[in-house]
Amino acid sequence: MECKREPKTVRLSQPYAPEMIVLQPAHENYHGGVSIEDGMDENGFEMIMLAYLNQQKGDVVRLYLNDDLVANTTIKEKEESKDTSLLMPAGRFHSGLNRVSFGIKRSSQEEVLTPELKLLYHSFPPGGTPPVLRLKASHTSVGPDEADKFFLTVSYNKANWYDRIHVICEGYLFKHQLVPETTSPLPPVPPSIDIPIPRSVFEQEGDSPAFQFFYYVVDYLTNGSARSLPLAIDVHLKPRPVQPPPTLAPPAVSPIDVLAYPNGVWLQIKDFTAQQGDKAQFVQVNAPVGAPPLEPVDFVGGVAKTLLRATYLAAWHGKSIEFQWKLIRAGVPAGESPVVKFDVKKIADEDSRLPTPNIAGNVSKELNVQQLPAGALILAQQWTSFKPGQPVWVTCSGIDKNGNPVSTDVRSGEPNDAPDGLSVAAPVQWLKELKEDTVLTVSLRVDLA
């Protein structure tokens, strides 16, 4: 009886390209892309035939591009389980769709082809070679009224869908991508692109009589263009200056002594001829990010003022505060003053105007700790700039019965829960372990921020 053996079917996977660009967004007609740099690399573009079932010595592996044979090799001994790498020669990809496949040829059967890998390639970078990139502006002068209407118009050679246009607005990078409204069918790329520039860009970068723009483009395949020529316009969003700057109302002077003004100090605007309905909005120029703005105030008798409370000033002790004011006329900003700086005097440790802590109300120089009740408290009167919840540190220091210095932390930065001043439990048992006729110190520190 004759036994006939059929050659085993070869099941092949799609070619693998390690340097293939993943398209963002994905494209239904392509698996990926190839950049000009990779496509023109003199070392070639690597394509890998993944090892397949029953891979054998002597199998011929052929690399095809658009049905043309571009490279081949033969599986050698001890390579039966290894992937096979072939190089696409430089300059073989063409613009648009490129179909890549491997063919496996055995002497016992016809050549078998892998599924195709479909790659997108652009032969020229955005702008072309030599580059042509044009830039126009909707307005040559941008004030408050034009800032919401401004746009740039760009046009350049070799434009493609999904190009990423990077517009440098003075120092701010604004990105815009060319995305078609529909992909079936894919419409032609427009000859020019209008790019609205938000008002926030001008506000962030500031006024300038020569506010400069330029752009460059990176396409779908990471190919980059040259830079366009710069374009300058006049930007002037800020309102016109007004006089005078804010001042401290007497008797306050700079540097501000916080402890001298427990009720705070007034910041005022004088010598300004206000129209009916005008308001002033005080602005701390160096306020921390996220600080709530001050509400606009009326001019009363030709003067507008706002109170800087002691708690606010204490948070800035040892620093400077910078203020200006903005004129609000008919409900909109109409001008702003120069900036003025006020120094806030640092509150010194152990300032005599600060309250001295005591134990159980004893303010004398002697304390009989053995007579302290179990519920004795460490107390202090309310201090200037007091507010509930301020972190406090309370420490007792003394000498133990062996003559060694000791200390204990009663509070270590926890929020003060007393409604006014300080009231915390004293470490009575610890105090009773101190040596008689020695010095006991109770210190209180407060975070005024």
Asked whether the predicted pLDDT for residue 136 surpasses 50, the reply is yes
Q: In the prediction, which pLDDT does 352 show?
A: 81
Q: In the prediction, which pLDDT does 251 show?
A: 95
Asked whether the predicted pLDDT for residue 178 surpasses 50, the reply is yes
CATH 3.10.180 fits 32-121, yes or no: no
Cα atoms in the 13 Å half-sphere on the side-chain side of 120:
20
Give per-residue pLDDT as tens, 410-431.
999 999 999 989 999 999 999 9
What DSSP letter does each residue of 91-134 carry, written as one string? Answer: T---SEEEEEEEEEEETTEEEEEPPPEEEEE-SS-TTTTTT-EE
Asked whether the predicted pLDDT for residue 88 surpasses 50, the reply is yes
CB 85 within 8 A of CB 46: yes
More confident: 2 or 392 = 392
CB 220 within 8 A of CB 126: no
Calpha distance 258→238 (Å, rounded): 34
Q: In the prediction, which pLDDT does 10 show?
A: 57
The residue type found at 197 is I
**What pTM value is reported for the model?**
0.53
Task: Give the Å distances, CA to CA, from 255 to 258, 300, 301, 344.
Answer: 9, 27, 28, 5
Give per-residue pLDDT as tens, 264-314.
999 999 999 999 999 999 999 999 999 999 999 999 999 999 999 998 999
Q: Which residue has the tokens 């501000």?
A: 256
CATH of 133-235, one of 2.70.150.10, 2.60.40.3580, 3.40.1280.10, 1.10.3720.10: 2.60.40.3580
Mean pLDDT of 318-329: 94
Q: In the prediction, which pLDDT does 240 show?
A: 65
Q: In the prediction, which pLDDT does 5 show?
A: 37
Give per-residue pLDDT as tens, 209-229.
899 999 999 999 999 999 999
Asked whether the predicted pLDDT for residue 345 surpasses 90, the reply is yes
Q: In the prediction, which pLDDT does 6 show?
A: 40
What DSSP letter does each residue of 143-179 carry, written as one string? Answer: -TTTTTT-EEEEEETT--TT-EEEEEETTEEEEEE--
For the chain, percent of residues with pLDDT exceeding 70:
97
For the chain, percent of residues with pLDDT exceeding 90:
79
Mean pLDDT of 353-362: 90
Mean pLDDT of the chain: 92
117: which strand partners? Answer: 100
CATH topology of domain 247-343: Immunoglobulin-like (2.60.40)
Where exactly are the structural domains of the chain? 32-121, 133-235, 247-343, 358-446
Asked whether the predicted pLDDT for residue 3 surpasses 60, the reply is no
- Banded pLDDT at 395 (limits 50, 70, 90): very high
Mean pLDDT of 65-83: 95
- Banded pLDDT at 449 (limits 50, 70, 90): low
Task: Indicate if 247-343 has the same CATH topology as 32-121.
Answer: yes
Give per-residue pLDDT as tens, 30-56.
999 999 999 999 999 999 999 998 899
Number of other residues whose CB lies within 10 A of the CB of residue 171: 9
